[in-house]
Structure 1
Amino acid sequence: MTTPTTTTIRPHSTGGAASMPMAERDDSGSMVRRILLGSQLRRLRESRGVTREAAGYSIRASESKISRMELGRVSFKQRDVADLLTLYGVVDEAERESLLGLARSSGHAGWWHSYNDVLPGWFQTYVGLEAAAARIATYEVQFVHGLLQTEAYAEAVIISGHRGGPPRAEIERRVELRMQRQKLLFSEQAPQLHCVLDEAALHRGYGGRQVMADQIKLLLEFSELPHITLQVVPFAHGGHVAESGAFTVLRFAERELSDVAYVEQLTGALYLDKREDVASYQAVLDRLSDAALPPAESRELLSRLWHTLLGGGG
């Protein structure tokens, strides 16, 4: 059996996206700094025995805002950071200036903020973390991962999630966003991506046979890149080793940053950064990887499915 001819793949573009700047990892720097500052503020608060409610009162904010600040999900006002540092008893000028400097440099908006019209607030956090990660490990059961989708497949998935379909302009913007995210895989400091994909996702015919054939061909091309590992959990495996649906574990180059497990839900998402929580998801991912076909055999399965979709051939 022949395998599809592969070419050097490049970032996809759609409409006006071709003229957009690459989703360079520099854009993720502000996200990293916000997370770093938030984690340091949380450690200071906890070490002083200050509640989130009391911290919020000191800066005229709610307890939930303190929680969002400590998770790095909102921008920081220098006045708020200064007041919190005073509350937490930080008087050393060098330490204060270091943290205030993080607050000043964390205000740059990433490229994804220009998609606020189609990007839910809870998912903005994920896109920023994705752009900042050094390693992305993910399990998918329903769809091909968003970073690995073709434009046509992405459009079909987006349409399938809405009764009657969203407005055409919204579809185009969301596809454009997905293709912009994909450019991360072609950046100079592209993350390591390990995708474990349930075979069921490959048999859900979003967009029809040709769309699926093109999608599988792209997966084959992506699987040849040195920083991408693609494994398929075959139907033949039988049992299901995942205690949950799809999820992603993100790891960062900065040692100060905790790994994050991301679990998407219907109208929101969970971001878990406690060591024991992340370890649980990583353990599931390890078991899934063990149950999946090795990369070379996964490619063979993809190639067979590609031939089947095209009507066979030897």
Structure 2
Amino acid sequence: MLVGAQLRRLRVSRGITRQAAGYVIRGSDSKITRLELGRTGFKPRDVADLLTLYGVDEAERAAVLLLAEQANAHGWWQDYRDVVPDWFEPYLGLEQDAALIRTYEIQYVPGLLQTPDYARAVIAQGHEGASAERIERRVAVRMRRQQVLTSPTRRRLWVVMDEAALRRQVGGGATMRAQLEHLHQMAALPHVILQVLPFGSGGDVGGVGPVTILRFSEADLHDVVYLEQIAGAQYVTKESDTLPYQHLLNQLGLLAQPSAATPAILREIAGTL
């Protein structure tokens, strides 16, 4: 998706049509559309030919070719194709490459902050009838994702959680107490910001579902908004379309309690279990 966005930006800035670009790589304009939307893999020769057509300088050419090589690389999640739906695979790649992950959650603790027992309970609820083995495979995926917070190039995470997500009983009292303690530990990390949006916040955020915004270190890569649905997901990449979601998360950050108040909130909720 990111490579495709780069190629589209370069093509449009040069005033080149999709038909002309398709001709250069021995394909159709529909193939260019699929490439620019990130819906197909990249042949190095095709990317190189397009960059030549667009007159890209050597530095940018090298950067885009490297990005394309990374996009084609085997991701760890491909070893879990039996439990990772096709629509979720792009998110796993984006999450791994993001410099900043901002998310607003309403119903559950975000996956990057879940304990194994909490994750197991959530996954079991959402996959009734699934075998214990498949549930454990899904738990393993969720735990593997969390390495983005502990690797040497750890990502920054900024979470706003609705109070309801913390008070909703998942997996029983012991599971919830352990989950709240884990959140307390994670909130103490310098690269993690955890805020709670209390019931009495007074802000109007009705009808807003979970939202995740992924930001990348490359200055010319736009944010990607991820909106998960029941049986799929929407990826918003156009800059003008991502702005309302950026404004929403900024607003939620102001309405929520400051991160310094989070430990006390977690202790208070734990005391009710």
TM-score scaled to structure 1, two decimals? Answer: 0.77
Residue 38 of structure 1 deviates from its aligned partner by 2.3
Amino acid at match of 1:125: P
Q: CA–CA distance in 2 between the matches of 1:90 and 1:141?
A: 44
Q: CA–CA distance in 2 between the matches of 1:284 and 1:93?
A: 37
1:114 alignment partner in structure 2: 79
Amino acid at match of 1:205: Q
Amino acid at match of 1:248: T
Amino acid at match of 1:165: G
User: What aligned pairs does 1:60-139 form with structure 2 within 5 A after superposition?
Assistant: 60=27, 63=30, 65-72=31-38, 74-82=40-48, 84-85=50-51, 89-90=53-54, 94=58, 98=62, 103-104=68-69, 106-139=71-104
Residue 219 of structure 1 deviates from its aligned partner by 0.6
Which of 1 and 2 has higher RCO (CA within 8 Å, sep 6+)? 1
Asked whether the equivalents of residues 186 and 192 of structure 2 are also in contact (C-alpha less than 8 Å), the reply is: yes
Task: Please say if 1:167 is aligned against 2:131.
Answer: yes
Amino acid at match of 1:132: D
Match of 2:123 among 155, 158, 165: 158
1:195 alignment partner in structure 2: 159
- Taking structure 1 as reference, are residues 274 and 301 closer, same or farther at Cα in structure 2, changes over 3 Å only? same
What is the identity percentage for the equivalent residue pairs of Structure 1 and Structure 2? 49
Residue 274 of structure 1 deviates from its aligned partner by 2.2
Asked whether the equivalents of residues 262 and 271 of structure 1 are also in contact (C-alpha less than 8 Å), the reply is: yes
Asked whether the equivalents of residues 151 and 175 of structure 1 are also in contact (C-alpha less than 8 Å), the reply is: yes
1:180 alignment partner in structure 2: 144
Residue 60 of structure 1 deviates from its aligned partner by 3.7
Deviates more, 1:75-84 or 1:275-284: 75-84
Q: Provide, for residues 85-116 of structure 1, a one-character-per-residue CA deviation record: whole Å limited to 9, x for no partner.
A: 57xx3468958964556545543212222222
Q: CA–CA distance in 2 between the matches of 1:83 and 1:180?
A: 36
Q: CA–CA distance in 1 between the matches of 2:187 and 2:59?
A: 46
- Taking structure 1 as reference, are residues 85 and 92 closer, same or farther at Cα in structure 2, changes over 3 Å only? closer
What is the DSSP-based 3-state SS (H/G/I as helix, E as strand, rest coil) of the residue aligned with 2:170? coil
Amino acid at match of 2:5: S
Q: CA–CA distance in 2 between the matches of 1:237 and 1:104?
A: 46
- C-alpha root-mean-square deviation of aligned residues, in Å? 2.7
Asked whether the equivalents of residues 243 and 284 of structure 1 are also in contact (C-alpha less than 8 Å), the reply is: no
Query: Please, which runs of 5 or more residues in structure 2 have no aligned partner?
Result: none
Residue 239 of structure 1 deviates from its aligned partner by 4.4
Q: CA–CA distance in 1 between the matches of 2:48 and 2:19?
A: 17
Deviates more, 1:45-54 or 1:254-263: 45-54
Task: Please say if 1:38 is aligned against 2:8.
Answer: no
Q: CA–CA distance in 2 between the matches of 1:109 and 1:47?
A: 31
